[in-house]
Amino acid sequence: MLKKLFVYAQNLTRIGFYLISDLKIHLQTTDYGNFLANQTNPLTVSKIDTEMRKRLCGEFEYFRNHSLEPLSTFLTYMTCSYMIDNVILLMNGALQKKSVKEILGKCHPLGRFTEMEAVNIAETPSDLFNAILIETPLAPFFQDCMSENALDELNIELLRNKLYKSYLEAFYKFCKNHGDVTADVMCPILEFEADRRAFIITLNSFGTELSKEDRETLYPTFGKLYPEGLRLLAQAEDFDQMKNVADHYGVYKPLFEAVGGSGGKTLEDVFYEHEVQMNVLAFNRQFHYGVFYAYVKLKEQEMRNIVWIAECISQRHRTKINSYIPIL
Amino acid sequence: MGSLFRSETMCLAQLFLQSGTAYECLSALGEKGLVQFRDLNQNISTFQRKFVGEVKRCEELERILVYLVQEINRADIPLPEGETSPPAPPLKQVLEMQEQLQKLEVELREVTKNKEKLRKNLLELIEYTHMLRVTQTFVKRNVEFEPTYEEFPSLESDSLLDYSCMQRLGAKLGFVSGLINQGKVEAFEKMLWRVCKGYTIVSYAELDESLEDPETGEVIKWYVFLISFWGEQIGHKVKKICDCYHCHVYPYPNTAEERREIQEGLNTRIQDLYTVLHKTEDYLRQVLCKAAESVYSRVIQVKKMKAIYHMLNMCSFDVTNKCLIAEVWCPEADLQDLRRALEEGSRESGATIPSFMNIIPTKETPPTRIRTNKFTEGFQNIVDAYGVGSYREVNPALFTIITFPFLFAVMFGDFGHGFVMFLFALLLVLNENHPRLNQSQEIMRMFFNGRYILLLMGLFSVYTGLIYNDCFSKSVNLFGSGWNVSAMYTSSHPPAERKKMVLWNDSVVRHNSILQLDPSVPGVFQGPYPLGIDPIWNLATNRLTFLNSFKMKMSVILGIIHMTFGVILGIFNHLHFRKKFNIYLVSIPELLFMLCIFGYLIFMIFYKWLVFSAETSRVAPSILIEFINMFLFPTSKTNGLYTGQSGYTLIRKESEEEVSLLGNQDVEEGDHQVEDGCREMACEEFNFGEILMTQVIHSIEYCLGCISNTASYLRLWALSLAHAQLSDVLWAMLMRVGLRVDTTYGVLLLLPVIALFAVLTIFILLIMEGLSAFLHAIRLHWVEFQNKFYVGAGTKFVPFSFSLLSSKFNNDDSVA
């Protein structure tokens, strides 16, 4: 089943492409079929990207329209992360005085909602909550971040992380309460997601004015690192100290060791690889909701791979074409 | 018998196509549909092949054509469909065609873009006028105060509290007005309230007319709104919210005069736009009409061109790069045509060196080609649905033509129902050239494709219906019954003969509700009915018992004959494939097994029918028990069917053992024979154990299969019984009720009853029952008949033919 669903990037790179239109012909032989048939020439990477996103969005809508409770709640939870990203993106755009239309094009279609475009009216987080997001699925995640601070870049970043934190916690709780195989499959994936966020927050906060106490409040309060690891992470001051923390955990030790190794992988790549592995494993079980999550995430990874390859082709960086994240 | 009995002999031919003439040659081949191409470049991915550029060009042309068709459909211009399909375009014309199409596309895109722009403009203006008209009513009552709105006279009554503080602040009153989508009104209002904290007043009115959405082109209901607010800050927010909900905002006139001016201006502009739009549309229509004339043939031409290039992509180049080499499967009978097509293609392109072909010997199994016509096609499809026959294997479709409708009819036996089905099929057959039937969809298409099967099924059902003497569950008395009731009476016999007979007199008839006719009384049974079942059985209470016994035996007899025939067909296969040892070691033991057990069963049935008469029927032994005893050798003596029966049983037993032993030896001997064959072919490694296993499994499967398959044929009896009973119930529940009513009002009631009877007959008895009998007949053929000889492991011959292509195109087009 997996073989049929996903385009293997290996197949894409093994055969040499010289033009993006060659890629198009190759994609025709896969599950994607003729989705680029009606695009006028010349084909660009962004056209491929938007078409693929549209396709994924259509598939997701299909799942959603045919879902019953509690699957529909589960699917709503899945869209929330994209919604948070979109809201933050729009607010950043408003800060830089960009036009809403321009940013709307960059928003992920899965996280689209009607009130989204009015986000730039708000000046403080509580404004944002009271006026705009109160009726969206994002509303419950706002409990921690009601403040009257003006929205500058740092505050927006804080807001994003706080929102993410409460979102992940809520999603985790939902999956845990659902129990059964869904919990078995989803909890490890979400735990990894939480830990990854903790690492990334720590990494990004080096050299900023974020205090260690504030940093700790941003960590999601579950996952393998919780609570001791998080306390240690909050004290970390550079990458090596972070790595020391990770060394205490059997899961993360090999990941950190792989960083910078063969092929110059970044921490992000390593995390992506691990995520792909976990998502692939979700397909081994039956009768659970995790497959929907895994399917969307893997499809996204596949899209990133295709976009990466297409970029490499169009910018003639043929040497880097192999540094995508292999699915399986 | 020729081509339907076995698939045609194929040969592998190599075509040497001069690269200049390859296109024309393939075009000629495609028109005739003679050969199947083999992909010689399997390990080269699609985009690295030779003619990928041309394929891309075809795709580009296709895209333009799809766009054209879409536009033509949208303009409601009928697409003329040419009767004949034009040949693939000569290479010289392709460029010209491409240029033409591209020009057309650019022009069309521009015109439609202009048109859309104008339309959008027009819509906006119309929206604006509507808005002005509606908002007028919002403020009408305050018209006299309007010039002095800055002092908020209109709002005195609304918000007394705010009034004073607002005036103190000296804020300006602003208006935003526009149209909003009906579905978004509620959310919009809520958001406004939450953001502006009540410092706005919103009035709404629904627009009576539905207007088109300029962006999506959907016709929806709109609301006109007017927001009055105080202060700049809030004004910004309101505007942003309006943007968010995709409201169409139009400037709100401050004075009545301004309003009137705007309205007048708008009216003239709308008039202007209308005329311009009409002109544009007329022009667009002209362009599209011109395009529509040629679009059908263009689409087919491009399809053909693309197909040709796909085939060319399967060819390989020779060393000199001057000529393309294609490998094709071609039926031997068509080789002449193939040569001629190649010549034609070369001549057309005016090449100096003709393309030629030669036949290469091969050990690969060729695809199976069975030529069908419109009559045999349906039956071939039934067989192919199970599995396409192996190359040169006996094709069961030939026999299916008769056996399939016959077995169906055994289950469906009813004169009336069969006749209705026959008439329906006849209607389809007579009108088969009607264009609407040819293009019908789904279910109707299914019936249409199987019209000849239906025809035969109907005919055979009429025949079996006559044998069963069933017409809508009633019997027809054509020749007069062979039974005579009056002969049962005491008075009709001379006293001397009465002694042993149980005869009736008045008191017997009066006191018994059920009376039995005794065929042994002379004169009661005057001989069999000339055709089928005697109609008197329709009245008898023991009718079912009689029919069951008859139908059960009949279905076993038919089944065994059918299966034996299958085994015999296996012999033909072995003969053809030169496997003589298989005849002695497989087919003959199989036949022996079948005939000695089940053939003997048939013999017993016939013997019992012929030997035992009405007088001796009471001493007749049960076939079932005799049959079982044959296997079990009971110690106690039973009185058999005939003298010497036990002798046969003993002989049978011995031969049975012998056969089974022989079977085992066979297997081994057979294996050695197979060994020799294998060495010759030198393709498979000989593995004694494996072959032994498959042979043993085959023997066991066959022996068990014979028993279970014989039992399976009893479905003939079961379904025919079910059909008869169901039609009987329908008659009893409806027609009998309708007929029982007295004569004066009976007619009134009878009409709806007959209508209902007809509807139920068609839907339940004809369609539903017919379908189930059809499925069971299919099963009997696929499983019970074909597993005796049919391997069905071939691949179908798919010729490169434009006729397959263009029919596919039509469907695509109707979808698009």
Contact between A273 and A192 (Cβ < 8 Å): no
pLDDT at A98: 78
Is the pLDDT at B19 greater than 80? The verdict is no
Would the CB atoms of A37 and B184 count as touching at under 8 Å? no
Expressed in angstroms, the distance from the first to the final Cα of chain B is 44
Contact (CB, 8 A) for B806 and B585: no
Considering only alpha carbons, which residue of chain A is nearest residue B55? Answer: A25
Question: Could you tell me which residue, B627 or A148, shows the higher pLDDT?
Answer: B627
Q: Is the pLDDT of residue B644 over 70?
A: no
pLDDT of residue B163: 45
- Indicate the residue type of A301: Q
Using alpha carbons, list the distances in angstroms from residue B468 to B403, B484, B773: 18, 21, 16
CB-based contact A131 B243, cutoff 8 Å = no
Residues B266-288: what's their mean pLDDT? 87
Per the model's pLDDT, the better-predicted residue between B263 and B661 turns out to be B263
Q: Is the pLDDT reported for residue B757 higher than 80?
A: yes
Calculate mean pLDDT across residues B547-556: 93
B240–chain A Cβ distance below 8 A for any pair? yes
Q: CB of A172 within 8 A of CB of A197?
A: no
Residue B19 CA to residue B346 CA, distance in Å, equals: 11
Most confident of A110-124, B186-200, B602-616: B602-616
Is residue A124 less than 8 Å (CB to CB) from chain B? Answer: no
Across the interface, of A25, A41, A131, the residue whose CB is closest to B191 is: A131
Closest-CA distance, B750 to chain A, in angstroms, reads: 49
Min Cα distance A122 → chain B (Å) is 9
pLDDT for B151 equals: 43
Contact A116 B244 (CB under 8 A): yes
Contact B47 A100 (CB under 8 A): no
A123/B contact by beta carbon, under 8 A: no
For the ranges A306-320, B9-23, B155-169, B248-262, the one whose mean pLDDT is highest:
B9-23
Contact residues, chain B, for A26 at CB < 8 Å? 45-47
- What is the structure's pLDDT at B40? 83
At residue B102, the pLDDT reads: 87
Cα B701 to Cα B697: distance, rounded to the nearest angstrom: 6
Mean pLDDT of B442-470: 91
Q: Which residue has the higher pLDDT, A319 or B468?
A: B468
Please indicate whether, in this complex, the C-beta atoms of A132 and B191 are within 8 angstroms of each other. yes
Contact: A38, B63; criterion CB under 8 Å:
yes
CB contact under 8 A, B195 and A15: no
A15 to chain B: which residues are within 8 Å by CB?
A: 45, 48
Q: Which amino acid is at B242?
A: C
Reference B335, options B6, B573, B563, B32; nearest CA is B32
Contact of A37 with chain B, judged by CB distance below 8 Å, is answered with: yes
- The span from the CA of A121 to the CA of B195, in Å, is 8
CA distance B298 to B292: 10
What is the reported pLDDT for A222? 84
Q: Is the pLDDT assigned to residue A99 strictly greater than 80?
A: no
Whether A120 has its CB under 8 Å from any CB of chain B: the answer is yes
Residue found under tokens 């087009």: B813
B708, pLDDT greater than 80: yes
Residue in chain B closest to A127 (alpha carbons) equals B195
Asked whether the predicted pLDDT for residue B814 surpasses 60, the reply is: no
Contact B194 A131 (CB under 8 A): yes
With a cut of 60, say whether residue B421 has pLDDT above it. Answer: yes
Using an 8 Å CB-CB cutoff, list chain B residues near A130. Answer: 194
Q: State the nearest Cα–Cα gap between B188 and chain A, in angstroms.
A: 9
- State whether residue B46 sits within 8 Å of chain A by CB: yes
H-type alpha helices, B352-450: 376-386, 397-412, 415-430, 435-438, 442-449
- The answer, for B109 touching chain A at a CB cutoff of 8 Å, is no
Summarize the confidence of residues A216-241 as an average pLDDT.
Answer: 82
Compute the distance between CA of residue A58 and CA of residue A117 in angstroms, rounded to an integer: 21
Interface A–B counts its CB contacts (< 8 A) at 52
Q: Which of A121, A127, A128, A129 to mutate to test the interface with B (most CBs of B within 10 A)?
A: A121
Instruction: List pLDDT tens digits, range A190-201.
Output: 999 988 888 888
- Name the residue among B518, B530, B549 with its Cα closest to residue B476: B530
At B117 the pLDDT is 87
Rg, C-alpha atoms of chain A: 20
- Using 50, 70 and 90 to split pLDDT, how confident is the model at B284? confident
User: Which residues of A fall within a CB distance of 8 Å from B56?
Assistant: 21, 25
Instruction: Considering only residues A6 and B31, tell me which one the structure prediction assigns the higher pLDDT.
Output: B31
| Contact between chains at A41 and B59 (C-beta distance less than 8 A) | no
Residue of chain A nearest B244, judged by CA positions? A117
Tokens of residue B462, six digits? 């009429």
DSSP state of B787: G
For residue A141, what are the β-bridge partners?
none
Model confidence over B333-370: pLDDT tens digits? 888 888 888 888 888 777 777 777 888 888 888 899 88
Count of alpha carbons within 13 Å of B801, Cβ hemisphere only? 14
For the segment B540-550, what is each residue's pLDDT rounded down to a tens digit? 888 899 999 99
In the predicted model, what is the mean pLDDT of residues B751-763? 90
Average pLDDT, chain B: 80
Its pTM surpasses 0.80: no
Q: Which one has a higher pLDDT value, A222 or B687?
A: A222
pLDDT in tens, B313-336: 888 877 777 788 888 898 888 888
pLDDT value at B665 more than 70: no
φ, ψ at B682 (rounded to 5°): 50, 40
A132 touches chain B (CB under 8 A): yes
Contacts of B240 in chain A (CB under 8 A): 118, 120-121
* Longest pairwise C-alpha distance within chain A: 56
Q: What is the pLDDT of residue B465?
A: 93
pLDDT at B127: 81
Task: Provide mean pLDDT across the span B501-523.
Answer: 79
**Residue A268 sits at the chain B interface (C-beta within 8 Å):** no
Averaged pLDDT, A209-218: 79
ipTM of predicted assembly, 2 dp: 0.71
Nearest-Cα distance to chain A for B191, in Å, is 6
Report the amino acid identity of residue B76: D
- Residues A46-97 have pLDDT tens digits of 888 888 888 889 989 999 999 888 898 999 999 998 988 888 888 888 888 7
Q: What percent of chain B has pLDDT over 90?
A: 18
Q: Whole-angstrom Cα distance, residue A6 to residue A262?
A: 26
The one-letter amino acid at A174: F
Residues of B in contact with A25 (CB under 8 A): 46-47, 52, 56
* Closest CB to B191 among A17, A41, A115: A115
The confidence score (pLDDT) of residue B669 equals 43
Segment A138-176, tens digit of pLDDT? 888 877 776 666 677 777 888 888 888 889 999 999 999
Alpha helix (H) ranges present in chain A? 2-5, 9-14, 20-28, 45-65, 71-95, 100-106, 125-127, 153-178, 180-205, 212-218, 228-235, 239-247, 252-258, 267-282, 290-315
Q: Give B-chain residues touching A132 at CB under 8 angstroms.
A: 191, 194-195
Q: Which of A22, A131, A135 has the CB atom closest to B195's CB atom? A: A131
Q: Does A131 touch chain B (CB under 8 A)?
A: yes
Return the higher-pLDDT residue of B720 and A41. Answer: B720
Interface-testing mutation among A39, A115, A127, A130, with chain B (most B C-beta atoms within 10 A): A115
Using the Cβ of A72 and the Cβ atoms of chain B, whether some distance falls under 8 Å is answered with: no
Interchain contact, B63 vs A22, CB within 8 Å: no
Residues of chain B neighbouring A120 (CB-CB closer than 8 A)? 240
CB contact under 8 A, B63 and A130: no
What is the mean pLDDT of the segment spanning B644-665? 50
Predicted confidence (pLDDT) per residue in B143-162, tens digit: 444 444 444 444 444 444 44
Share of chain B above pLDDT 70, in %: 85
Average pLDDT over residues B207-234: 76
A104 interfacial to chain B (CB closer than 8 Å): no
Mean of the per-residue pLDDT values of chain A: 80
> Chain B partners of A313 at a C-beta cutoff of 8 Å?
none
Is the pLDDT at A185 greater than 70, yes or no?
Answer: yes
